[in-house]
Structure 1
Amino acid sequence: MPDSFVIQPRGAAPVTGAMDAAPEPLRLDPAFGPLIAHIDDAVTDVFVNGPAGLFVDRGSGADPVSGWRASEREVRDLAVALVGLGGRHLDDQAPCVDVRLDSGIRVHAVLAPVSTMGTALSIRIPRVRAADLEALAALGSFGARQQAWLLGLVAERANILITGGTGTGKTTLLSALLSEVPATERIVTIEDVAELRPRHPHHVALEARQANVEGAGGITLARLVRESLRMRPDRLVVGECRGEEVRELLTALNTGHDGGAGTMHASGLRDVPARLEALGALAGMDAVALARQAVSAFTVVLHLDRAPGGVRRIRQAGRLVMAGDRLDIEEVTPW
């Protein structure tokens, strides 16, 4: 059996300059077993719902794979093998595990009976073809005027908050923006599971660590944000704000760390203030303190969605403002 199976991305354009090599082809370990036949360069996500079915997403939503057959034991063994590739252990004592493989693939597994329909696998495939703004523009994510505006935000060291639902391309756009940062600057990214892979010669990635079964050894995003401030970052980035780390990020962006960025789940641009307030509450911040920090911290909010045809795009841009003592947002059209 070969050591790995290679998926060569179609249409991957070379990048000139310090990062002059095209993205490496995705390599699938033999542990992916029966899934290999269903993963090509167009696939962004793979879902195994116990023995009930296999679904793949090629950018237009999850589609069922006809003819898929697997027993619960086979799916569980597959999940254990894939989690093992990431150096983690999956069993009845730790039935929910999230890992990142060396290839950049992210695997989330939940064993039965926690997953009532049988062992569930959610696999995120990195978008190797969308490594820079040029590639994203070619895919229809934004037009030429929007692209020029985005390049200006990077050059002006704007602090950017990228929002949107699951699978709208937040991480992909953030990676593309970071790829435009001057090569002389140092980027430090902080993520729950490291997915950001900008084409940049000086990128340091920090990844949170879950506690072991004894409850020891965990390293939170909030702690990593504090640690990163001692690493002299020129650009400080939190891959996804989902808890108390929003306090540390806001503090950092309000104390001279320009050019930073973060992403956050939100259903719409108008939902961003309430979402930030909810995260601030988890960090012990009241609504007034959160509003003042957020307005000062972020230059612009970019909200993404998926068009009916599956294209991930910048739907709206906004600016956080104060409305009395509460946080609000105004839509802007800078392009």
Structure 2
Amino acid sequence: MSTLSDRLAAARGEAGTARDKPAGTADLEPQADTAGGSARADETEHPATGQTSGPLSARAPAVGPDSRPASRRALVSQEADRIEELKASVHAELLKRLGPHLYDADMDQQELDQTVRNVLSEVLGSQDRPLSAADRSRVTLEITDDILGYGPIDPYLRDPEVSEVMVNGPDVWLEKNGRLMKADAHFTDEAHLRRTIDKIVSRIGRRVDESSPMVDARLPDGSRVNAIVPPLAVDGSALTIRKFSADPLTVQDLINFGSLTPQTADFLDACVRGRLNVIVSGGTGAGKTTTLNVLSSFIPTDERIVTIEDAAELQLKQDHVVRLESRPANIEGKGAVTIRDLVRNSLRMRPDRIVVGEVRDASALDMLQAMNTGHDGSICTLHSNGPRDALARMETMVLMAGMDLPIRAIREQVASAVDLIVHQTRFKDGTRRITHITEVERMEGDVITLQDIFVFDNTAGFDENGRVLGRLRSTGLRPKFIEKLAYANVSVDPMTFRTDQV
């Protein structure tokens, strides 16, 4: 029988051998039998009971690397669902308590705001489900935006950097700094979006439903709204809001943005003061209304101005301004007042200037008549791809009046009425630039001759961020209407037309 010292020495030797083995080899070699019988390496003996337990993997299953994040995501999702359910119940309770007051256009906004906040506090306080302070603040803000404002898009309507908000079904898209991006917001469902649309249009006496599925409206701040709902919108209602700048851009802003140069700004100022008839053309979102607003700011303050628009957007600072806005038909299909009706009516209002927000139909004929019957200095906008296309569109819209006029007669009217075309383009980088300032000269045969005074020079190309580096440059040609400006006691510096002018 071996002594205790022999057994200790043997145990130390076995421990050293185990340390010298490469990792992972212990399970590949058979274990030696001991006096108490064989015991596998993956079994352990309890020090108190002497019982052996199974393999380690059977006793305590390992936690996989993805199980904890997955469980966390599940908890976050459950919490989000609970918050959404709570918002829905609180929203329903608010609607039940306040009822039609939410859509009452005559109710004072501060009174409505205070009423909603009081009821919201009561409803949240009566909920059985506890809320953290952060969740309570979030629910309060989102429901307040939904009830008093326009739901998920309300923060973007307050953001001065966002110029347009587009809602396609539940998704929200933004135009920010001239570029489109998807917003981190969405509508809960179609009913949620329809409530927001109804709130916008009901406050100005418009409606949108299956019988009248399209509507043009505006927000109280002047932002232009277009909504179209099913069945015309196949994938859910679509809402487009072009924000109205509370602080309108000035001519100096356009110069700073590169849309104009100081020389072209002075030239356009002289053209407006000299009572030339001007057409501002361009594509959708090219900035035509902004340019029209700037050109209108050049009109002298002692003249009577009548503005005609579909949705009132112009912000003229003159003292003597009459603003007219068209009206769609009512639910019986009656009562519509078109732009053409307003143009005809404006001729009886003793205007010095007629400013039309956009000519898009037979009102073009009445606008030409106004320009040709002593109302010089009129300004309007229309959609086109260039100065030549602007005249072609004008002809087409005159034909829409159904007067069966010969093309030559229409072109003679256009050549006689229109003096200047200011064309604007929205480039790929999101910038909006005036690309053509073109004189409408006269008829040569059956063609209206045009002469470019300033043209956008894009030979400089683009910078490393894809921004346009070009600028407006003079063609070196002097316009023929310089004499007409002289009759109005307006002079233009001849140096304006130097080709090397920077």
TM bucket, shorter chain: 0.7 to 0.9
Deviation digits for residues 185-244 of structure 1 (CA, Å, limit 9, x no counterpart): 111011122211122221111111111122210111111111101111111111111010
Mean CA deviation greater in 277-286 or 317-326? 317-326
Query: Residue 221 of structure 2 contacts residue 246 of structure 2 at CA under 8 Å; is this kept in 1?
Result: no
Indicate conservation of the 8 Å contact 1:105/1:123, yes or no.
Answer: yes
Higher RCO (CA-CA < 8 Å; seq separation 6+): 1
Change (3 A) 1:29 1:249: farther
- Give the superposition deviation at 1:67: 4.6
Contact 1:159–1:253 under 8 Å retained in 2:
yes
CA distance in 1, matches of 2:346, 2:374: 14
Structure 2 CA distance for aligned equivalents of residues 200 and 273 of structure 1: 30
Between 104-113 and 86-95, report the one with greater CA deviation: 86-95
Gaps of 5+ in 1: 6-27
Task: Give the alignment partner of residue 49 of structure 1, picking from 165, 168, 171.
Answer: 168
Q: For each residue in 1:26-67, what CA deviation from the matched residue of structure 2 results, as whole angstroms up to 9, or x when unmatched?
A: xx993322211223112211100112x111112413211135
2:266, 2:163 → 1: CA distance? Answer: 27
Change (3 A) 1:150 1:203: same
Q: CA deviation at 1:166?
A: 0.6
Mapped pair 1:237 → 2:355: yes
Choose which of 304, 307, 323 in structure 2 pairs with 1:186: 304
Between the aligned partners of 2:390 and 2:290, the Cα distance in structure 1 is 20
- List gaps (5 residues or longer) in structure 2: 1-101, 103-108, 114-145, 455-473, 475-496, 498-502
Contact 2:163 2:176 in 1 (8 A): yes
Q: Tell me which residue corresponds to 1:332.
A: 453
With normalisation by structure 2, the TM-score equals: 0.59
Give the TM-score normalised by structure 1.
Answer: 0.87
TM-aligned CA distance change 1:61 to 1:246, over 3 Å: same
- What CA RMSD, in Å, does the superposition of the two structures yield over aligned residues? 2.2
Contact 1:127–1:172, Cα closer than 8 Å, also in 2: no
> Does residue 211 of structure 1 match 2:332?
no
Shift of residue 90, structure 1, vs aligned partner:
1.8
Does structure 1 residue 125 correspond to structure 2 residue 246? no
Q: Is the 8 A contact 1:305 1:313 kept in 2?
A: yes
CA-CA distance at 1:275 after TM superposition:
1.2
TM-aligned CA deviation for residue 183 of structure 1: 1.2
The 2-side partners of 1:91 and 1:308 are apart by 36
1:245 Cα shift? 0.3
Give the Cα–Cα distance (whole angstroms) in 2 for the partners of residues 278 and 324 of structure 1. 19
Conservation of the 8 A alpha-carbon contact between 1:162 and 1:170 = yes
Give the % identical residues.
38
Shift of 1:82: 1.2
**Does 1:312 pair with 2:439?**
no
Q: Contact 2:187 / 2:193 at 8 angstroms: preserved in 1?
A: no
Label 1:132 to 1:29 Cα distance change in 2 as closer, same or farther (>3 A): farther
**Which position in structure 1 is the counterpart of 2:271?**
153
Q: Match for residue 257 of structure 1?
A: 375
Letter aligned with residue 322 of structure 1: M
Q: Paired residues, what number?
A: 312
Distance 1:152 1:81, change over 3 A: same
Q: Is residue 72–residue 119 contact of structure 1 (8 Å, CA) maintained in 2?
A: yes
* Corresponding residue number in structure 2 for 1:279: 397
Q: How far, CA to CA, are the matches of 1:328 and 1:48 in structure 2? A: 44
Distance, in Å, in 2 between the alignment partners of 1:88 and 1:269 is 36
**Larger CA Rg, structure 1 vs 2:** 2
1: CA distance, partners of 2:370 / 2:177: 35
**3-state SS of paired residue (1:66):** strand
- Per the TM alignment, residue 328 of structure 1 is displaced from its structure 2 partner at its CA by 5.0
- TM-superposed CA distance for 1:132, in Å, is 2.1
More helix by share: 2
More strand by share: 1
1:32-111 correspondence to structure 2 within 5 Å: 32-39=150-157, 40-51=159-170, 53-111=171-229
Superposition deviation, residue 68 in structure 1: 2.8
Structure 2 CA distance, aligned partners of 1:69 and 1:33?
Answer: 8
Give the letter aligned to residue 305 of structure 1: T
Asked if the contact 1:44/1:58 (under 8 Å) is kept, the reply is: yes
